[in-house]
């Protein structure tokens, strides 16, 4: 049997591990300290644990770190890292350096089940969930790990379709025994999986970014099949009702498709549907993917759209296009190698 | 193997807020290996194509299932696969007539009219189309159903009788009389006269949906004519 990784376990889970080996409860904290704060990569080096415990751990477990398999560097400094997630499966993480901060864009699933029309990851279908350890490994094993100031869960997969592992990874990231990162530096994106979103809002203080892409139900449905089950109106209803703490930021991601969702009518309706929600809107350039019937809006149209929203009092930004030459825009991450998924048998 | 916690996000919320009602199972029949048809009395109206959330225990989050019975029928039918290691479906499989079941109100907007169009499904993704056909929306529809094995072509006799030559079944692992041998995408790819007007409704796995959608778009079908329901 393959050895179970310890990296990614919460303090409670490390406590269970310690107990199973007959160790005192405080050993859980020691393990966490080594894994997340001192960042060692072998049990050998966990010097304050007894030799016999270290040997027993090594018999059944591995630390569970894995360096990236491949790196692509964009002319603007954005780097895309490919991490293995089981045999023949890969996920990507993007390192996005800016003047005052450095953001890491993480993946949460291998592929995705949600089938959004504009997304490269969606084309892969679903190949598996990432464990909390595999999610966090994208941070820990990143060469620039120490430089990261912000984390966005906007890579491959729908984070809230892997809720338990995403919550565990956030616990490790934010706990004092973990990476001790402020939840204000973490943003989780979702297409609006309502039950999971409610749990996320209840259990974390992280920022939330909802993929909106069209304020009109019928149109959104053709772009995002999830609209059938969790209509935007209900998603917004939840956000309106839940007591969003003042310090939590709710943003809406809006990829701009030429002639489709970029008209003044859309801007007007967007303002209407967002009424009563303290939020910001991020307008995003669309990077066409192979075979897509969609194309991006012009810069001029995007500026006009931005102006309309701003005039209506909505904080709006046009997201900078980063890593376009390596297709590293968050949420559209993918490489040619990744899209050649094994043919599904249906 | 890394430890992956097996919960997906498609679960409904707690039972109180989802308006779960108690009902009793009428019957729960294994119609093919690991595939069941669950029946319970219809107490609420629904639109063909809608789903319900069900569970056997208020502590277990309900999962969604497409209704596969007609809108005026006395019972609600649900067609489901048992997911090995799944939290709910192995418990559903153990249900007998008279057992307690918790059911949410119907919801969802994967709907259709009676105009000419295409229904494309894999596996249990046939369920909403059964409901639509049994509710009188099948008169001008074509249906393409794909499965690995012939036993997975649920409702084959029914559709062959109702839709006649407008019903196509495809199997990847078994050959059979009147069954196209191969993926449904292969069958669709061979159709030279596939219309580009009319609506296409796709239901089943994410892989099928994205493949068929790509194929249809490449054949000139406007993406606005394609509606998809993914069993995530
Ligand atoms: C709108 C909608 C309609 C649905 N209708 C039907 C229906 O009519 N009939 C039907 O049989 N099912 C349907 N489903 C799927 C169903 O809701 C459950 O997801 C499924 O029955 C598994 O439940 P479970 O509790 O046994 O497994 P879970 O405990 O939820 O999952 C077990 C494991 O299987 C994995 N898993 C779950 N789904 C998939 C998948 N699609 N691909 C790969 N791995 C997966 C999970 O990640 C998890 O690790 C529908 C889903 C949706 C969203
Ligand atoms: S946009 Fe996000 S949710 Fe949609 S298919 Fe891509 S990864 Fe999945």
Full pLDDT tens readout for chain A, 346 residues: 789 999 999 999 999 999 999 999 999 999 999 999 999 999 999 999 999 999 999 999 999 999 999 999 988 889 999 999 988 899 999 999 999 999 999 999 999 999 999 999 999 999 999 999 999 999 999 999 999 999 999 999 999 999 999 999 999 999 999 999 999 999 999 999 999 999 999 999 999 999 999 999 999 999 999 999 999 999 999 999 886 766 789 999 999 999 999 999 999 999 999 999 999 999 999 988 888 999 999 999 999 999 999 999 999 999 877 766 665 544 454 444 554 566 788 8
Same domain, A158 and A127: yes
pLDDT at A288: 87
**Residue B150 falls within a domain, yes or no?**
yes
A53 shares its domain with A79: no
Query: Looking at the structure, do residues B87 and B122 belong to the same domain, yes or no?
Result: no
Of A62, A84, A107, which marks where a domain is finished? A62
Residues 161-200 of A with CB under 8 A from B: 161-165, 168, 193-196, 198
Domain's final residue, options B103, B127, B148 = B103
Same domain, A221 and A271: yes
Q: Which chain B residue has its CA at the smallest distance from A125's CA? A: B207
**The pLDDT of residue A324:** 65
Question: Which domain range does residue B92 map to?
Answer: 21-103
B77 and B138 fall within a common domain = no
Is residue A141 domain-shared with residue A53, that is, in the same domain? no
Query: Do A277 and A315 reside in the same domain of the chain?
Result: yes
Do residues B48 and B146 share a domain?
no
* Pairing of β A150-153 and β A280-285: unpaired
- A132 and A279 together in one domain: yes
**pLDDT for the residue B19:** 86
- Atom index in ligand 2 nearest the CA of residue A112 equals 8
CA distances from A221 to A185, B106, B120 (A): 31, 19, 17
Nearest bound ligand to the CA of residue B205: 1
Distance A179 CA to ligand 2 centre (A): 27
Q: Are residues A8 and A126 in the same domain?
A: no
Instruction: Answer yes or no: do B121 and B98 share one domain.
Output: no
The CATH number of whichever domain residue B130 belongs to comes to 3.40.50.80
Of A114, A198, A229, the CB nearest to B13: A198
* B40 found inside a domain: yes
Q: Is A286 exposed, middle or buried (0-12, 13-18, 19+ CB in 10 A)?
A: buried
As for how many domains chain B has, the answer is 2
Residue B92, φ and ψ in degrees, nearest 5: -60, -40
Residues B123 and B218 in one domain: yes
Instruction: State the catalytic residues of A.
Output: 92, 330
**Do A154 and A263 fall into the same domain?**
yes
How far away is chain A from the Cα of B155, in angstroms, using its nearest Cα?
Answer: 17
In a domain, residue B65? The reply is yes
- ipTM for the whole complex: 0.92
Q: How many residues does chain B have?
A: 232
For residue B2, being part of any structural domain is answered with no
Residue B14 lies in a domain: no
Say what the pLDDT of residue A325 is.
Answer: 67
Tell whether B76 is covered by a domain.
Answer: yes
Is residue B11, in this structure, part of any structural domain at all?
Answer: no
Q: Which domain holds residue A57?
A: 4-62
* Ligand whose nearest atom lies closest to the CA of A114: 2
B218 and B122 housed in the same domain: yes
Q: Are residues A49 and A140 in the same domain?
A: no
Residue B5, in any domain of the structure = no
When divided into structural domains, chain A yields a total of 2
Return the exposure string of A291-323: e unless at least 16 CB atoms fall within 10 Å of the residue's CB, then b.
Answer: ebbbebbeeebbeebbebbeeeebebebeebbb
**Rounded to whole angstroms, how far apart are CA atoms A250 and A166?**
18
Statement to judge: residues A129 and A274 lie in one domain: yes
Which chain B residue has the Cα nearest residue A217? B109
Q: Which residues make Cβ contacts (< 8 Å) with residue A77, sequence separation at least 6?
A: A97
Q: Is B123 in the same domain as B74? A: no
* Residue B5 pLDDT: 53
CATH number of the CATH domain containing B68: 2.40.30.10
Q: Which of B75, B103, B131 is the last residue of a domain?
A: B103
Compute the half-sphere exposure of residue A34: CA atoms within 13 Å on the CB side of its CA.
21
What is the token pair recorded at B107? 């919801």
Residues B148 and B192 in one domain: yes
A331 CB near ligand 2 (under 6 Å): yes
Please report the pLDDT score of residue A4 as a whole number: 96
Say if the Cβ atoms of A2 and B1 lie within 8 Å.
Answer: yes
Ligand 2 atom with minimal separation from the A120 CA: 6
Q: Does B183 share its domain with B225?
A: yes
In this structure, the answer to whether residues B131 and B89 fall within a common structural domain is no
- Binary contact (B210, A125; C-beta < 8 A): yes
Flag residues of chain B having pLDDT under 50: 1-3, 6, 13-15
Query: Which CATH number fits the domain that encloses residue A46?
Result: 1.10.150.530
CATH number of domain containing A198: 3.20.20.70
A251 and A231 both lie in a single domain = yes
Shared domain check, A210 and A107: yes
Cβ of A138: how many Cβ atoms within 10 Å? 28
The pLDDT of residue A258:
97
Q: Please tell me the pTM assigned to this model.
A: 0.94
Nearest CA to ligand 1 atom 51: B231
What does the pLDDT read at residue B15? 45
For a pocket test of ligand 2, which of A91, A110, A116 has the largest count of ligand atoms closer than 8 A to its C-beta? A116
Determine the pLDDT at residue A127.
Answer: 92
Read off the DSSP letter of residue B107.
B
8 Å CB contact of B2 and A162: no
């Amino acid at each position: 049997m393959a050895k179970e990784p310890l990296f990614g376990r919460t303090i409670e889970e490390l406590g269970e591990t310690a107990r199973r080996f007959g160790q005192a409860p405080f050993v859980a904290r020691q393990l966490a300290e080594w894994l997340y704060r001192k960042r060692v990569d072998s049990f050998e080096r966990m010097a304050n644990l007894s030799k016999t415990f270290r040997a027993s751990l090594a018999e059944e477990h591995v630390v569970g770190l894995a360096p990236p398999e491949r790196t692509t560097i964009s002319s603007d400094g954005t780097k895309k890292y490919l991490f293995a997630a089981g045999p023949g499966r890969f996920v990507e993480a993007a390192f996005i350096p800016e003047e005052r901060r450095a953001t890491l864009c993480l993946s949460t699933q291998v592929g995705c089940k949600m089938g959004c029309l504009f997304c490269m990851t969606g084309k892969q279908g679903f190949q598996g969930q990432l464990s909390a350890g595999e999610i966090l490994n994208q941070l820990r094993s990143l060469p620039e790990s120490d430089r990261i100031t912000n984390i966005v869960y906007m890579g491959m997969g729908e984070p809230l379709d892997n809720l338990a592992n995403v919550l565990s990874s956030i616990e490790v990231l934010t706990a004092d025994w973990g990476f001790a990162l402020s939840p204000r530096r973490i943003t989780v994106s979702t297409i609006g999986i309502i039950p999971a979103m409610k749990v996320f809002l209840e259990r974390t203080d992280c920022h939330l970014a909802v993929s909106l892409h069209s304020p009109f139900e019928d149109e959104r449905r053709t772009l995002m099949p999830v609209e059938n089950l969790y209509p935007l109106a209900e998603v917004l209803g939840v956000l309106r009702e839940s007591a969003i703490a003042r310090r939590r930021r709710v943003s809406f991601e809006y990829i701009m498709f030429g002639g489709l969702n970029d008209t003044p009518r859309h801007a007007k309706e967007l303002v209407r549907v967002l009424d009563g929600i303290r939020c910001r809107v991020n307008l995003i350039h669309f990077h066409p993917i192979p075979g897509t019937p969609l194309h991006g809006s012009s810069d001029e149209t995007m500026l006009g759209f931005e102006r309309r929203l701003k005039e209506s009092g909505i904080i709006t930004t046009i997201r900078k296009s980063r890593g376009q030459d390596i297709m590293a825009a968050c949420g559209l991450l993918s490489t040619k190698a990744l899209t050649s998924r094994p043919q599904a048998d249906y | 193997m890394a430890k992956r916690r097996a919960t997906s996000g498609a679960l409904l919320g707690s039972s109180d807020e989802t308006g779960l009602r108690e009902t009793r199972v009428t019957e729960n029949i294994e119609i093919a290996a690991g595939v069941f048809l669950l029946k319970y009395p219809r107490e609420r109206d629904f639109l063909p194509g809608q789903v319900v959330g069900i569970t056997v225990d208020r502590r277990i989050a309900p999962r969604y299932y497409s209704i596969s019975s007609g809108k005026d029928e006395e019972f609600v039918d649900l067609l489901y696969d048992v997911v090995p290691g799944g939290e709910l479906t192995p418990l559903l499989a153990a249900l007998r007539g008279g057992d307690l079941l918790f059911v949410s109100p119907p919801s969802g907007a994967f709907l259709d009219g009676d105009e000419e169009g295409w229904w494309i499904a894999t596996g249990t993704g046939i369920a909403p189309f059964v409901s639509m056909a049994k509710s009188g929306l099948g008169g001008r529809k074509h249906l393409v159903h794909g499965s690995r094995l012939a036993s997975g072509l649920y409702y084959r006799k029914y559709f062959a009788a109702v839709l006649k030559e407008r019903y196509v079944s495809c199997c990847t692992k078994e050959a059979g009389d009147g069954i196209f041998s191969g993926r449904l995408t292969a069958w669709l790819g061979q159709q030279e006269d596939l219309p580009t007007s009319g609506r296409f409704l796709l239901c089943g796995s994410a892989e099928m949906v994205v493949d068929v959608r790509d194929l249809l778009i490449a054949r000139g079908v406007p993406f606005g004519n394609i509606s998809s329901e993914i069993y995530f």
